[in-house]
Structure 1
């Protein structure tokens, strides 16, 4: 009896190779699409400046996403159609003949062979033609974009009429929907904070660097009112002080510059530098403060820190007097205040015998100074404060929650933290105790 397998034609392995090639080509298109779309423009510009071949072409493609996506879609669609049709036509019957040999009924064998070929081709297209190439693109988008940009530009030129038609058609759909194709999304400050936090979690930067970067990013949003030395803490000289008083003040103060006022700190008329005073005293000349003092700029208390920095850079002395909208003196700001807002307080700047602004206790609670910045308090406790707020310090935060001048022992709840007023300095909140009341901190609604 003759062997039925002897009548079978050889299996078309060349057709299999062609189909695999088409699937791989589909993968190239998918990888190119995701690589160029997800590439960072700043990184591509740096590669282009360094002479990397293909980087400039990748930048041009990413600048026109509509045309580029149309080009890629043409390639993916054509390859998908050809791969599906070719696989079914070339492999359906040979696979059906072999299923017939395995005992599949003749009425079903060829249909089953066709379905099996299409299913395997689709599976290979999903894995080899989509998922794996896209994962490669996500691992190194800029490098892959530089490699594929040249071929993609040539394909765009070869299919220019069809690309134009698809691009215009998609633009028409967006117009009918009343939408713009160009993305209006920009990186927000919160996203930058998240990126920095992610870099710290990944070990790219350490915690101190993360805190400093976050402080720099917040600096432009902070008014000088939250950075200044308040008027109650300002060391100053009376313009009519005698030499003995001036000597005593120079010995007491740690500052290199002192405001000069007429009888009261509310009437500051200028700023004198300690080195100028020391020079006059060493030369045994009479000390006339009106001759030694220099003018200091006056800035509003709502001016942001970056604008205040520009004022300080152009001032005769790097010290600015902060006034409120009614013209009342509120405090003064110096470059040291701006540096402390970025890097934190320096121990040498703290007065002898004073406690640090925040101390974590053994039970996980925090003893906080009322003068600690609200942002500093939020960073330590891991809580989120409203972006729009009328206070800059922890004491101001407590007053905003209580809505009255508190007494020692009063407390309030904010999220999962209980805050207790533990010390009052007259009418000023001096110390607060923050205790977490749950294991998981839940942020309050900012609205």
Structure 2
């Protein structure tokens, strides 16, 4: 066999080894979700690649047989192709007993470099860059090789499965996707500019529905406008004109004795019909749905779906009313700044290091705004006001301060023991000490 034929064979072996390397890496790196989407669209190559991912034993058994065979042949052919050339080049410079050894070493280095660069590094980097495309392109040729090598593949697969079972390792690929994986992908998309920051916030808020409790999105008790059974018509008209809500609770004397609710459009109809506005002996009052304050926002949505209602009254373990929540409240929690008006914003950033925060702001929203992973014992309170009371261990007064997580929280306004506003300031001195290494 001439040297030209041997070099051509070596080139063919290098390309073949590169094919196997790219097939191996692409199958491991390919996204099952993307392959499934392509398979659903009718791409049979994606279906074959998915089958290999689900049962990789035969694929990798055939792959290793082929890779090792090609590598051995490459070493033999490389030595046969290059050794005569180097023996001719160095025969006048080296003694005869060293000539063959030197020629073999140089031939081995060149063949190894060719395989490392063109059969390993470049194909694998290409497969990492386009895993699904390469996996689909190599799927059918690999299936053909598996059929040819079926007896050898069968034995190797059974032996490897037995070893894995002995070690307690699953023999099939387990594709589990967690919410953390999805959020990490969304964060990477936002960093790359593929996903807008507002869209990233919405997706994060959707996942937080499972952890945020209903009180974090409700209208608190003190902000609820309600009617009593003996409410006068003048008072009813005044409240409707002042607070244009769609629904109003109707109570027997106070909020802890809710009878039901009245729809404002029914009141308007009575006004247009010139009928008196009264709740005594009328069919205006409708029953409302009660839910415990321990439900998450996701569970609240489930309740709305089952009952075909769009609002509910929230009570605590003592059957006392703590607030009311509507489906719009839940959706506002998800959409965030996309639907909030200037009057609804509870956290106002005054400058780079200070924020003016409403006392009823959910603690999760504050943690997001300040980029704090977790405030101390944040499961013990729901709002910023609750945080201040928990940390101070008393009913806060104006100028009371709490230093926590490199921030200072100062009470600015208190109304009847209720915290209206809190000023949050980032501690620059502490940050400076940390950056200089003075403060551990």
**Contact 2:407–2:426, Cα closer than 8 Å, also in 1:** yes
Match of 1:73 among 64, 68, 75: 64
Aligned residue-pair number: 428
- Of stretches 180-189 and 319-328 in structure 1, the one that deviates more from structure 2 is 180-189
For 1:435 and 1:441, how far apart are their aligned partners in 2?
17
Unaligned runs of 5+ in 1: 1-9, 443-447
Name the TM-score, length of structure 2 as normaliser: 0.89
Deviation at 1:276, TM superposition (A): 0.5
Match of 2:74 among 68, 83, 103: 83
Deviation at 1:390, TM superposition (A): 3.3
Match of 2:373 among 370, 373, 384: 384
Aligned pairs for 1:188-199 (under 5 A) are 188-199=178-189
Deviation at 1:358, TM superposition (A): 1.3
Alpha carbons of structure 1 residues 425 and 167: separation in structure 2 relative to 1, 3 Å: farther
Deviation at 1:100, TM superposition (A): 2.2
For 1:164 and 1:398, how far apart are their aligned partners in 2?
67
- Of stretches 413-422 and 302-311 in structure 1, the one that deviates more from structure 2 is 413-422
Partner of 1:35: 26
Match of 1:396 among 380, 383, 386: 386
For 1:340 and 1:212, how far apart are their aligned partners in 2?
10
Deviation at 1:422, TM superposition (A): 3.0
Asked if 1:165 is matched to 2:155, the reply is: yes
Alpha carbons of structure 1 residues 430 and 166: separation in structure 2 relative to 1, 3 Å: farther
Partner of 1:310: 302
SS of aligned partner of 1:137? helix
Asked if 1:273 is matched to 2:263, the reply is: yes
For 1:401 and 1:20, how far apart are their aligned partners in 2?
73
Deviation at 1:314, TM superposition (A): 4.1
Give CA deviations for 1:259-318 in whole Å, capped at 9, x if unaligned: 111111111111111000110121112334351122111112121212211322344642
Aligned pairs for 1:72-221 (under 5 A) are 72-101=63-92, 103-182=93-172, 186-221=176-211
Partner of 2:288: 296
**Contact 2:83–2:107, Cα closer than 8 Å, also in 1:** yes
Partner of 1:3: none
Alpha carbons of structure 1 residues 170 and 25: separation in structure 2 relative to 1, 3 Å: same
Deviation at 1:238, TM superposition (A): 0.8
Partner of 1:14: 5
Alpha carbons of structure 1 residues 26 and 439: separation in structure 2 relative to 1, 3 Å: farther
**Contact 2:249–2:260, Cα closer than 8 Å, also in 1:** yes
How well do the aligned residues superpose, as a CA RMSD in angstroms? 2.6
Alpha carbons of structure 1 residues 125 and 347: separation in structure 2 relative to 1, 3 Å: closer
Unaligned runs of 5+ in 2: 436-440
For 2:176 and 2:272, how far apart are their aligned partners in 1?
59
Asked if 1:46 is matched to 2:30, the reply is: no
Partner of 1:369: 358
For 1:129 and 1:185, how far apart are their aligned partners in 2?
29
Deviation at 1:333, TM superposition (A): 0.8
Deviation at 1:185, TM superposition (A): 6.3
For 2:291 and 2:60, how far apart are their aligned partners in 1?
52
Aligned pairs for 1:235-384 (under 5 A) are 235-289=225-279, 291-315=283-307, 317-344=309-336, 346=339, 350=343, 356-384=345-373
Alpha carbons of structure 1 residues 159 and 273: separation in structure 2 relative to 1, 3 Å: same
Name the TM-score, length of structure 1 as normaliser: 0.88
For 1:104 and 1:173, how far apart are their aligned partners in 2?
51
For 2:122 and 2:114, how far apart are their aligned partners in 1?
11
Alpha carbons of structure 1 residues 13 and 420: separation in structure 2 relative to 1, 3 Å: farther
Deviation at 1:203, TM superposition (A): 0.9
Partner of 1:422: 412
Deviation at 1:149, TM superposition (A): 0.8
Alpha carbons of structure 1 residues 325 and 92: separation in structure 2 relative to 1, 3 Å: farther
For 2:133 and 2:42, how far apart are their aligned partners in 1?
13
